[in-house]
Amino acid sequence: MGGPVRHVDVLLIERFSPRGTILCMLNDTITPLDSAWQDRALCAQTGADFFFPDPGSSVREAKRICGMCEMRSACLDYALANDERFGVWGGLSEKERLRLRGTEEG
């Protein structure tokens, strides 16, 4: 596999999550080190349109689906580790992931 595995700081994610959901999510979620999580993710069952909307479109529905997904933290870890620049990953938009990293552009 590629470089070192990077895990997400729980306190930073909590800012973008509905109150009280992140600790429950972490306790109930197994974060696989491989891509098997993708087959178990809810987005694999709903289609990409929600998660990669047209510019200026709402990401509300994607975030709602992510909020119910047990693979959310694995998804966010993947997106941050692989510098995913587009779409909703782990319940966060592109801008939210940039802020999480502290590298917001513009």
Q: What is the pLDDT of residues 30-66, one digit of tens each?
A: 444 567 888 889 988 888 888 998 888 899 999 999 9
Per-residue tokens: 24: 């429950």
- Ramachandran assignment for 56, one of left (phi > 0), alpha (psi -120 to 50 degrees), beta (any other): left
Nearest partner of 72 among 38, 36, 33, 34, judged by Cα: 38
- Among 12-16, 29-33, 48-52, 96-100, the range scoring the smallest mean pLDDT is 29-33
For 83, the domain range is: 10-101
Query: d(Cα 26, Cα 13) in Å, to the nearest integer?
Result: 11
Domain contains 106: no
3-state helix, strand, coil in the chain (%, to 5): 45, 0, 55
Q: Give the mean pLDDT of the chain.
A: 76
Domain contains 1: no
Would you say 42 and 66 are in contact if contact means Cβ atoms under 8 Å apart? yes
Domain contains 40: yes
Amino acid 32: pLDDT:
43
Tell me whether residue 37 is exposed, middle or buried, using C-beta atoms within 10 angstroms of its C-beta: 0 to 12, 13 to 18, 19 or more. Answer: buried
Question: What is the tally of structural domains in the chain?
Answer: 1
Domain contains 92: yes
Domain contains 70: yes
Domain contains 23: yes
Domain contains 4: no
pTM assigned to the model: 0.64
